[in-house]
Amino acid sequence: MEKIYGVIGDPIQHSMSPIMHNTAFRELGLEAHYHAFHIRKESIRRYIDAVRLLNISGFNVTVPHKTEIMEHLDHIDPLANAIGAVNTVLNDNGRLIGYNTDGMGFVEAMQQEWKQDIVQENILIVGAGGASRAIFYTLASMGVQHIDIANRTKEKAQSLIENCPFTIQSSALSIEEAAGQLEKYSAVIQTTSIGMHPNTEEVPLKLDRLKAGTFVSDIIYNPLETLFLSQAKKKGAIIQNGVGMFVNQGAVAFNLWTKKNPNIQSMKNIVLDKLG
């Protein structure tokens, strides 16, 4: 019987997840369908009832439900628990298990472009919101030792570091402090919404002190190349946009559900095609 998967969010109509997962199901010859469900906050409980009733095999969770969903699940994976957000749920014979594949998706994408032993590297993360937290804790859980966090509100960076359940050497920095010592880092990861459409003229950080050869990643994919990435490229950086993270968070979820590895490149092509 055809298996049902999906994504819940509010809004959800522009989600690229259905076309990405349905392409992967078709390519692997799996009898499955992935649907976008528009679920409001007050309907989460009833959605969970529907998951059990209809035997929905798994689903993604997007804005604004990633934290709220947690109380409705039977078990939370330890990394998702540390991050405090779930973006993927597996229905394991009626037991609903929550995972967070955002951080893993980022790391997979990073390693596809930057073939470095990241554990040894000195990394700067810009921003201290939900995306930063997923990436920071995932890198820390993998044993990366040196990650600084720069944020407009330095206290938020400090609190992210204090709550990190993994051993790590980290400093909280203001944006200016980070810009003033940028040559220290071999990778810079931009996780704020600065530079996203329609505010494409904004940059989160001055790049004067960026070393050539630094890996610079921006999790934004609209536009595909933010002003921040263009400036980094001019300084000789290896740049990466947010498409890789998006595709790989989906691929990791797909693997949790089906135990199969989808073709990352064709998922990426579909997403790039949709983004135009």
Nearer to ligand ATR, 139 or 194 (CB): 194
DSSP annotation of 186 reads S
Choose, by CB under 6 A, the member of 18, 84, 130, 223 that binds ligand ATR.
130
Distance, in Å, from the CA atom of 236 to the CA atom of 246, rounded to the nearest integer, reads 25
- Classify burial at 5, counting beta carbons within 10 Å of its beta carbon; exposed 0-12, middle 13-18, buried 19 or more: buried
Q: Provide the 3-class DSSP secondary structure of residue 73.
A: coil
Between residues 170 and 258, which has the closer beta carbon with respect to ligand ATR? Answer: 170
Q: Are 39 and 10 in contact (CB under 8 A)?
A: yes
CB 62 within 8 A of CB 39: no
Residue 217 is a binding residue for ligand ATR (CB under 6 A): no
CA distances from 59 to 2, 40, 193, 250 (A): 15, 15, 25, 11
Q: Does 165 bind ligand ATR (CB under 6 A)?
A: no
Q: Hey, what are 148's tokens?
A: 């600084």
How many Å separate Cα 238 from the centre of its chain?
19
At residue 257, φ and ψ (nearest 5 deg) are -80, -45
Residue from 3, 41, 66, 260 carrying the catalytic annotation: 66
Which one, 10 or 92, has the nearer CB to ligand ATR? 10
CB closer to ligand ATR, 130 vs 180: 130
On whether 153 is known to bind a ligand per the annotation, the reply is yes
With binding defined as CB under 6 A, does residue 151 bind ligand ATR? yes
Q: Which listed range, 74-82, 114-122, 135-143, 150-158, lies at the site for ligand ATR (CB under 6 A)?
A: 150-158
Binding marks (x or -) toward ligand ATR, 172..201, rule CB under 6 A? -------------------xxxx-------
**Residue 154 labeled ligand binder:** yes
- Residue 152 or 235 with smaller CB distance to ligand ATR: 152
Number of residues that bind ligand ATR (CB under 6 A): 14
Q: Which residues contact 111 (CB under 8 A, 6 or more apart)?
A: 118
Task: Tell whether 128 is in a known binding site.
Answer: yes
Q: How far apart are CA 185 and CA 192, in angstroms?
A: 18
How far, in Å, CA of 216 to CA of 218, rounded?
7
Task: Tell me which amino acid residue 46 is.
Answer: R
Q: Does 3 bind ligand ATR (CB under 6 A)?
A: no
Q: Which of 80, 82, 107, 128 binds ligand ATR (CB under 6 A)?
A: 128
Binding-site entries for shikimate: 15-17, 62, 87, 102, 221, 249
Q: Which residues are catalytic?
A: 66
Residues that bind ligand ATR (CB under 6 A): 127-132, 151-153, 156, 191-194
